[in-house]
A and B are shown apart, each in its own frame.
Chain A
């Protein structure tokens, strides 16, 4: 099985842009879709990106997902940061037998 590695924490100021990485330890990052989940403090997770770069209805277009084959990683980019974006973010992918979650990244909006 593979591991998804995320930075433990990131921070940025309101209005700025932040990118959270998710690096796959083995196998091609493009080999299976990547999802991103947002979990605000005390709340249920919600899906902000699915299938690498698709936004569910209701998710602002400030959120975008991408893949980078050179680093075998996925990224979640949030532009025009707002205080409400402060949350934990988890990436997730899969193989034929299981889902794999990254350890999560705490985003602080200063």
Chain B
């Protein structure tokens, strides 16, 4: 059974930092693109970042470029999102997702979702 378990969210002050982790199990982790998607309170889904199978190709939505860093550890089957210079509009539930299929050339979409972790940016 595919499982994605996020951790690391919480209350952060504006300008602060937080690191999210997602522990994956139930599939060959190194075969899949992994992504982070967020959802602000009462809003729709927004793609944040994704990372290829080896951790070499990284892509970010424009609003987080230079502030967020996605990485992965294919030994520990984890993907991380390091978030810096946080702003109030970064407040959201952050979901870790696994791609729809293995060994894809590009990230296609979310086949599985974690339960999400809430990041609140407020003073």
Residues of A within 8 A of B (CB): 32-35, 37, 39, 44-47, 50-51, 56, 88, 90, 92-94, 96-104
Contact = CB atoms under 8 A, between A and B. Distances in A.
Interface string B102-121: 00001111111111100000
Nearest to A90: B45
A93 to B, nearest CB: 8
A99 to B, nearest CB: 4
Nearest to A50: B100
A56 B99 CA distance: 13
B46 interface: yes
A44 B114 contact: yes
Given A90-B44, A98-B47, A100-B47, A45 B108 contact: no
Interface centre among A39, A47, A51, A56 (most CB of B within 10 A): A47
A34 B109 CA distance: 8
A37 B44 CA distance: 11
Given A50-B108, A104-B45, 15 more contacts: A33-B109, A35-B109, A35-B110, A46-B113, A47-B109, A50-B111, A90-B45, A92-B45, A92-B109, A94-B106, A94-B109, A98-B47, A99-B47, A99-B107, A104-B44
Given A94-B108, A101-B46, A45 B100 contact: no
Contacts of A32: 108
B59 interface: yes
B44 A47 contact: no
